[in-house]
């Protein structure tokens, strides 16, 4: 592998952007050629992130045309809506685009409008977008020029659910997902709710009805189950730690399903996956085991009194839940070793 | 009120014991006459808890007979099983006993044996024990000599559930309770799992099947609903903060029930309660609002897509979840103002 | 004590203001009649601080004239400069004013201008202002109408230093104070530096040269030592916890001074103080022992190799470092029991 | 580079051992062939550290003779004393030994006995031991078979001090070092002091006189200054975060020394060092910028009022302060790229 791939991170000032920079600076097959930021344009990376001060990169704010000359691959770590504004011309200019925003995750423009409060900004691109979750769409990702990287809560929810639904071990009815995220999950958002003394020694639910990740999770679980629609409850919580998501999922077991059945299905699905780890039965996952890794770890147990399967699933929200998974998708698209740089 | 009530804390070395001491030292109608500890007997309170160094109390380890001379009321902050060993003679000696352990919470000795792995140590006492949750048993508490103070997770679960079940707004089927507790909930337990670097930046479920608080919650919810039995799922999590529990509860709404119906039932139940606070509809509770208080705060919302009522409920696990509620019970039993010292 | 004192908190939206409200709502001799806030005027206290939802107070934003009718005592929890704008008319209207800002702490207007970058806003008031640290100025506080409550870092520095300097156990030269504060010390400041993920898992010095608390500490230490001037180094750090300050102080011991000498001086100074606690020799103070109390705890040890006396001192920055100490001052001024409400 | 170097970690159950495993598993030129632990022998690495479950390593507890067959390089992550018991036979068997304990750091056996309370266990080995701090001993490390890896607090203290002393910018008298460490600095120690609720929301000094790192820091600072002895004050603190050390150092400036002089000396010393980063003048270092990296970051400023140079220095205590620096030393010894695996 002589020539390195030139890569740009568009919107490198948020936590996902920073995580992309952290990983890409050490990626053996990548040259990070541009990191953009309106607010920080002109500043060296060390000024903004002293952690990276040994790098000589500076933030820039180039025209798209210029950006297209600098890079072959662009990661968009931008707010939804704005991501589309960059995706359209970058795709036209021939770049591979990996979008970390929500713009191309939902296949239904109606759902997009319902949850994001505006018409979809580029419905014509939806057909070519591939959902960026390698364990489910590896084949399609090999040829995708627009990759809609999976969301953080959805990744932690879909990976443990999909094999169970695909093998009909659990019902599509009555699924409950209780998740807790570290505060980087809110992005680098400067608001009173997120200052340290308000988050520290605090634990709370939020967005318990109508969270924007609901349709994304439902779409992918329905696809896995092979049914037109699933309706579930997803309840996110904010917890006082930096990185990580734990999702605890409750499923109604189909009659006669045993713990061994679950073990078998999970092992078949994930034994060869480099970034999914199935724990021994009855163990619970712990966010700390995956912090700053691209792993998803899954635990499971059956409550025979209620015939529920209880699954716990953890990821680092910035890595497997965003930037790491995006790089995993890029590796697949470019034919690189899937674990390179991760 | 001239004469102060003499009170002992038996087992004052754990977090609940320490919290009892903190509150009782400032209680206007109480004189704390004895704090016992095997490990710390002979030490001044300031040696063990520098926070209380201005007090002149010392830890002791008296015979029960001696203890009975020192106090009229005894709080037992002991492991289950051991609590009974103290409760029996102290009751005989005429003391009022407030037990913070689990020994007298379950009315069914079979359930006790199932969940605690041993026959109940004093089934003959169960009849006189009153469950220590003032909002539900205030009347009986006025005459109880043995008060089985409610557990922490159960308190955070029962207070928001009972009025809903009593008024048949929700089904007794399919109840799911996802809770997260700060680490004091594990007690002052010295084990590798609980050292700082193992808990900090970590979030995990545990005891997802068969947790000992399940039968306690089910017993009280069935009583509230007026049914012989309820089976539910209770999933506790350990989160990196010191004090507090958040319980997020999902109920199947009965047909036609509206948010206003829920509001009305909650207000009827709790408007006059000094230690329960119902938030405006659609708000979520936050543990930080109740830290170091005896309050339970309740939020609620309806998901019309799944016909679920989603309730969040927060307490301080050491105060309303243990020692504060025990003092509230004592106040009731002694005819003191219910909020005294709280 | 029949009639309660009517008290107002001017600027109740910050952390010091909130702490004043927390303490004053339970103060047995006080009626909290007004809490002001420009941003929150009109809102009930429960909307802003759900913790206080059982209170019926609302935020207001009254003219000073109106405020003067509502209260006999006003606490100013305002930014420096703005505090003076309120202090002048409130004093004229006959109120006792307890200012938590820095406006009246420095006796030298030159120092004020040097460190705050503007001429002192009301030099004529400086003469009547009494520095609000009861252990040092109790007598003067009994008659003070304008009380300049001591700062948080200064309180944690002056209490352990003053007796040592007054008794000439240590040199006035070469004093070094290394402090660490929890993040509430920065106030409820909404800035990127203070969001949770930036503070959590982070520890750093700041303002290592020229911090505004330097002249305040130097002024009081010089006064204690009876010398015209002291120059010292004060190095604050920001640490990932909510409440508390630890100050570690290094002094050059005067020849022949022993640990017993230090013990004797501290005990003479503080044995009868309700809110200062001297630890046994060689122990170190810990912020957690004073959280949510009005205590200052002091530890000390001698390094014979370098002839240094090393002192550690902890307070809760919002209580003894701000609002609790202000209430202690008010109690003294009004002839109430000094510990009332604390 | 065809053949990988076989490496063993002796004592892989502590935090330094775990960090060695984390880094060595990804080291491009290393094969981790053995991880030993008495307590965990026989268990797979995934059982003990689910984070590494994709690895197939298991803990073992081999005889030294067997260990010598498995590896060419041994890292000792053992308590002091025990490390020597392994070092002697492993050196005899021809292995390169990198000792993370304190056994071979002090050149003076008298100091060892004074601070560790026992005679040095192998004084004859001291001559061949090289102090494991690449920035100061790179040349000697190239040929060292026994490397005494520098301690965590010492690394954070020596790197910022040595160039200043070598160039006589600061006095050797009156040096004060105030440090704060995250709780992993205490090792994986299961004791009441270290459980989460005791450390969280707590900040305290400890070991303020006679800490074992004092002679190590003094030895290296004297060597840098070219003087026989330096006596200084080192005050460690425990702070509620997982990883990182901040050291704040106060030096007496030599007459006439300016901030530019300091800048020049630091840049000359460290501009080409891969793992030391000098911040622009007047900035303070922050532990979070170096978490999970092998970097040391240094900030500095002058207080003209007291003629002090104030330096802040941060490292990750487990990486640059222990395991990362040990691997850096190994890379140098083996002629590998110094940054490999880091």
A110 with A43, same domain: the answer is: yes
Average pLDDT, rounded, for chain C: 97
A 265-284 near B (Cβ less than 8 A): 282, 284
B117 inside domain: yes
At D132 the three-state DSSP class reads: strand
Interface check for C183 against chain A (CB to CB < 8 A): the answer is: yes
- Calculate mean pLDDT across residues C262-267: 98
| Best mutation target, B176, B199, B203, B303, to test chain A (most A CBs within 10 A) | B203
Q: What is the pLDDT of residues C265-296, one digit of tens each?
A: 999 999 999 999 999 999 999 999 999 999 99
Query: Contact C197/A190, CB-based, under 8 Å?
Result: no
A 7-26 near C (Cβ less than 8 A): 15
User: Which helix H or strand E contains C184, and what residues bound it?
Assistant: none
Predicted local confidence at residue B3, as pLDDT: 87
At D81 the three-state DSSP class reads: coil
Percent helix, strand and coil across chain C, each to the nearest 5:
35, 25, 40
Taking CB atoms and an 8 Å cutoff, what residues of chain A touch D287?
none
Interface check for D190 against chain B (CB to CB < 8 A): the answer is: yes
pLDDT at residue A1 greater than cutoff 80: no
B286 with B213, same domain: the answer is: yes
C138 with C230, same domain: the answer is: no
B120 inside domain: yes
pLDDT at residue D121 greater than cutoff 80: yes
Q: What is the DSSP string of B284-307?
A: --BGGGTTTSS-EEEEEEEETTTT
Predicted local confidence at residue C3, as pLDDT: 87
- For residue C151, give every residue at least 6 positions away whose Cβ sits within 8 Å of its Cβ, in sequence order, or none: C102, C105, C213, C216, C321
- Who among B178, B208, B241 is closest to A301 (CB)? B208
pLDDT at residue C2 greater than cutoff 90: no
Residue C49, CB-side half-sphere exposure with 13 Å CA sphere? 22
Torsion, CA A41, CA A44, CA A49, CA A53, rounded to 10 = 170
B57 with B122, same domain: the answer is: yes
Query: Contact C242/D284, CB-based, under 8 Å?
Result: no
pLDDT at residue B1 greater than cutoff 60: no
At A51 the three-state DSSP class reads: helix
C207 with C145, same domain: the answer is: no
If pLDDT is split at 50, 70 and 90, which confidence band does C62 have? confident
Interface check for D312 against chain A (CB to CB < 8 A): the answer is: no
B209 with B124, same domain: the answer is: no
**What's the Cα-to-Cα distance from A248 to each of A160, A203, A312, C338, rounded to whole Å?**
10, 16, 4, 51
Predicted local confidence at residue C141, as pLDDT: 98
Query: Contact D200/B15, CB-based, under 8 Å?
Result: no
C152-166 vs C134-141: helix crossing angle, rounded to 10 = 90
**Beta carbons of D293 and D220 less than 8 angstroms apart:** no
If pLDDT is split at 50, 70 and 90, which confidence band does A3 have? confident
A131 with A203, same domain: the answer is: no
Query: Contact A292/D297, CB-based, under 8 Å?
Result: no
Query: Contact B200/D15, CB-based, under 8 Å?
Result: no
Predicted local confidence at residue D62, as pLDDT: 86
Taking CB atoms and an 8 Å cutoff, what residues of chain B touch A198?
288
Q: What is the DSSP string of D208-263?
A: TTT-THHHHHHHHHHHHHT-S----EEEEEE-SSSS-EEEEEEEEBPTT--HHHHH
Task: Dig out the tokens for A120 from the structure.
Answer: 């979809």
If pLDDT is split at 50, 70 and 90, which confidence band does A2 have? low
Antiparallel, parallel or unpaired: β A96-99 and A146-149: parallel
Angular region, B51: left φ>0, alpha ψ -120 to 50, beta rest: alpha
Predicted local confidence at residue D4, as pLDDT: 96
pLDDT at residue D39 greater than cutoff 80: yes
D341 inside domain: no
CATH number, domain containing residue C89: 3.40.50.720
Q: What is the pTM of this model?
A: 0.97
State residue D156 phi and psi, 5-degree precision.
-70, -15
Dist CA A24 CA A30 (whole Å): 7
Q: What is the pLDDT of residues B275-328, one digit of tens each?
A: 999 999 999 999 999 999 999 999 999 999 999 999 999 999 999 999 999 999
Average pLDDT, rounded, for chain A: 97
Q: What is the pLDDT of residues A60-77, one digit of tens each?
A: 998 899 999 999 999 999
User: Which helix H or strand E contains B148, and what residues bound it?
Assistant: strand B146-149
**Beta carbons of D96 and D73 less than 8 angstroms apart:** yes
User: Which helix H or strand E contains D169, and what residues bound it?
Assistant: none
CATH number, domain containing residue A225: 3.30.360.10
C342 inside domain: no
Note whether ipTM > 0.90 here. Answer: yes
Dist CA D270 CA B120 (whole Å): 70
Which residue is associated with the tokens 């509150």?
A: B23
Dist CA B166 CA C190 (whole Å): 44
Tell me the nearest-neighbour CA distance from A223 into chain D, angstroms: 29
Antiparallel, parallel or unpaired: β B129-132 and B146-149: parallel
Split into its structural domains, chain A has a count of 2
**What's the Cα-to-Cα distance from C68 to each of A261, B24, C49, C76, C319, rounded to whole Å?**
75, 38, 25, 13, 26
Residue D125, CB-side half-sphere exposure with 13 Å CA sphere? 26
At C276 the three-state DSSP class reads: strand
Dist CA C210 CA B64 (whole Å): 61
B313: Cα separation from own chain's centroid: 14
**Beta carbons of A44 and A20 less than 8 angstroms apart:** no
**What's the Cα-to-Cα distance from B7 to each of B82, B138, D109, rounded to whole Å?**
19, 21, 58
Interface check for C301 against chain D (CB to CB < 8 A): the answer is: yes
Predicted local confidence at residue B154, as pLDDT: 98
**What's the Cα-to-Cα distance from A127 to each of A90, A106, A122, A131, C38, rounded to whole Å?**
17, 11, 10, 11, 51
Query: Contact C277/B201, CB-based, under 8 Å?
Result: no
* All chains having 3 or more CB pairs closer than 8 angstroms to chain A: B, C, D
Taking CB atoms and an 8 Å cutoff, what residues of chain D touch B191?
190
Query: Contact C183/A197, CB-based, under 8 Å?
Result: yes
- Calculate mean pLDDT across residues B266-282: 97
Task: Dig out the tokens for D187 from the structure.
Answer: 């090792």
Dist CA D299 CA D280 (whole Å): 7
- For residue D100, give every residue at least 6 positions away whose Cβ sits within 8 Å of its Cβ, in sequence order, or none: D16, D20, D75, D76, D77, D78, D83, D149, D322, D323, D326
D43 with D160, same domain: the answer is: no
Which residue is associated with the tokens 């002991």?
A: B78
Task: Dig out the tokens for A281 from the structure.
Answer: 């039965």
Dist CA A125 CA B43 (whole Å): 73
C340 inside domain: no
Q: What is the pLDDT of residues A263-308, one digit of tens each?
A: 999 999 999 999 999 999 999 999 999 999 999 999 999 999 999 9
- Calculate mean pLDDT across residues C294-308: 98
B340 inside domain: no
B339 inside domain: no
Q: Which domain holds residue A72?
A: 5-151+321-334
A150-159: b (≥16 Cβ within 10 Å) or e: bbbbbbbbbb
Interface check for D193 against chain C (CB to CB < 8 A): the answer is: no
C230 with C279, same domain: the answer is: yes
- Who among C205, C231, C306 is closest to D284 (CB)? C205
Query: Contact D241/C201, CB-based, under 8 Å?
Result: yes
Query: Contact D293/A51, CB-based, under 8 Å?
Result: yes
A218: Cα separation from own chain's centroid: 15
Dist CA B289 CA B283 (whole Å): 13
| Best mutation target, B26, B50, B54, B55, to test chain C (most C CBs within 10 A) | B50
Interface check for A193 against chain B (CB to CB < 8 A): the answer is: no
If pLDDT is split at 50, 70 and 90, which confidence band does A186 have? very high
A137 with A224, same domain: the answer is: no
Q: What is the pLDDT of residues B199-214, one digit of tens each?
A: 999 999 999 999 999 9
- For residue B97, give every residue at least 6 positions away whose Cβ sits within 8 Å of its Cβ, in sequence order, or none: B73, B74, B76, B86, B87, B90, B91, B145, B146, B147
Q: What is the pLDDT of residues D241-268, one digit of tens each?
A: 999 999 999 999 999 999 999 999 999 9
B 53-82 near C (Cβ less than 8 A): 53-54
Percent helix, strand and coil across chain B, each to the nearest 5:
35, 25, 40
C197: Cα separation from own chain's centroid: 28
Dist CA C20 CA C78 (whole Å): 12
Taking CB atoms and an 8 Å cutoff, what residues of chain A touch D53?
277, 279, 297
At A309 the three-state DSSP class reads: strand
Closest among A27, A51, A54, A55 to A35, alpha carbons compared: A55
A173 with A265, same domain: the answer is: yes
**Beta carbons of D203 and C244 less than 8 angstroms apart:** yes
Active site residue D296: no
C100 inside domain: yes
Closest among D3, D2, D5, D1 to D333, alpha carbons compared: D5
Interface check for A201 against chain D (CB to CB < 8 A): the answer is: yes
- Calculate mean pLDDT across residues B221-228: 98
> From edge to edge, which strands make up the β-sheet containing B73-76?
B59-60, B30-36, B5-10, B73-76, B96-99, B146-149, B129-132
B83 with B160, same domain: the answer is: no
């Amino acid at each position: 592998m002589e020539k390195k791939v030139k890569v740009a991170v568009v919107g490198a000032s948020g936590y996902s952007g920073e995580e992309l920079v952290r990983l890409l600076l050490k990626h053996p097959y990548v040259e990070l050629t541009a990191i953009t930021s309106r607010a920080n344009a002109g500043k060296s990376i060390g000024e903004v992130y002293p952690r990276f001060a040994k790098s000589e990169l500076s933030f820039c704010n180039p025209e798209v045309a210029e950006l297209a000359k600098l890079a072959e691959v662009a990661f968009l770590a931008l707010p939804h809506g704005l991501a589309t504004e960059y995706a359209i011309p970058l795709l036209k200019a021939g770049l591979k685009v990996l979008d970390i925003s929500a713009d191309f995750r939902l296949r239904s423009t109606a759902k997009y409008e319902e949850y994001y409060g505006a018409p979809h900004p580029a419905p014509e691109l939806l057909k070519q977008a591939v959902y960026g979750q390698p364990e489910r769409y590896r084949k399609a990702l090999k040829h995708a020029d627009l990759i809609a990287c999976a969301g953080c809560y959805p990744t932690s929810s879909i990976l443990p659910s999909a094999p169970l639904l695909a093998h009909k071990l659990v019902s599509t009815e009555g699924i409950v997902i209780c998740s807790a995220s570290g505060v980087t999950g809110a992005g680098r958002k400067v608001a009173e709710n997120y200052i340290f003394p308000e988050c520290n020694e605090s634990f709370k639910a939020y967005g318990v009805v109508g969270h924007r990740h609901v349709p994304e999770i439902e779409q992918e679980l329905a696809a896995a189950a092979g049914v037109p629609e699933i309706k579930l409850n997803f309840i996110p919580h904010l917890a006082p730690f930096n990185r990580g998501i734990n999702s605890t999922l409750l499923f109604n077991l189909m009659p006669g399903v045993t713990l061994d059945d679950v073990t078998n299905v999970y092992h078949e699905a994930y034994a060869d996956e480099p970034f999914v780890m199935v724990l021994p039965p009855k163990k619970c996952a712990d966010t700390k085991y995956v912090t700053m890794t691209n792993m998803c770890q899954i635990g499971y147990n059956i409550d025979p009194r209620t015939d529920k399967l209880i699954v716990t699933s953890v990821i680092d929200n910035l890595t497997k839940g965003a930037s790491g998974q995006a790089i995993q998708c890029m590796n697949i698209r470019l034919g690189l070793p899937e674990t390179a740089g991760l």
